[in-house]
Structure 1
């Protein structure tokens, strides 16, 4: 369960969540407290193990994907600060914030612990924020196919060769080449695997509208005529396979 908590260090405010019992701090707001100007540069200097991304409400209540750092990452960022108060900030976090989180499951001041009505109010707000976060995460998950669809749509206006489809899939982050793609399409029944129909679309994939066959008539030097057939991936097929491979990845 992730619990959003807001802390105030002097006049500066920053948020944390608990993820599997571990506190994570909003990187941009920690940098603001410590007067570090460019959180994106700080992020590039941190190790992957101290960084995560979560959907949490911003100051206006809008759910946003946010970069967070754990306790180790927090100390790394504090060491980068030239602000004289950085030492006091670290002492405050280690002596008050973290012990309170571990003891109470939230940052609980004496005022909060001594006031049951206020405690209930805070707990209710945390529950509402959690429900909002879950709803936002669900929406992001539901929107993923739409995002993939939009990415693929730009290059799906005409039929392309299977080799070009492999390049398109690579552009979408999947490491695959033409030969491997042909092999997978045969193994999964999209293309035929035997005889004169080798690498031609199966009846099923043609009915799905994933492929079309381009027929070309060539005149040989001896006057005979040769007909070639080439498998091409339709616009619908491009979207289908990009979505399929990205989902599989």
Structure 2
């Protein structure tokens, strides 16, 4: 069946644009007058609803215009009321649409689709509700300090998609690590005062001599502190 007009689903009901139907029927009466002459035969919010669409004017600007989302049954009746050959063609098209829509196999298919959507939504809600508990249990009672990479792995195992590099970037952006200079990635004064981060110093010997390496660590208190920050995105 060739598509004569775009059909969308709204509140489990097939609807079409009144403007699209008016244009498709090749009516000479302007749209607003056609609406005032015919829509009083139907019930607003049952047979049709008022909507706003946009049209592109000559200068390329987008201008809002009045339109209506009308049911296929209403569109079928409006087509018949046009008393034109084009109207007969559209009426037959809408009759075929209704027949397909009400076919038992199509009803079962729609019902299955709704059920699948509800299951997906339920799983997402359950995951959202479980995530705070999962993250909280991952660090509850933790006393040992861990490096940023290890903490990123814990978060990732519990469903937070963040790697070591992204976590480093987040810590720098939010003022927990120094972002530049010779002390790059060293905990800031704020982190040290809050006792959520500490630094491990080690001496590394190379062919060019010895140098001190600073490794930022997240304390047990810090792990719980940062987890609470991530949990905010689940509220």
- The reply to whether TM is greater than 0.5 is no
TM-score range, shorter chain: 0.3 to 0.5
TM-score, length of structure 2 as denominator length? 0.42
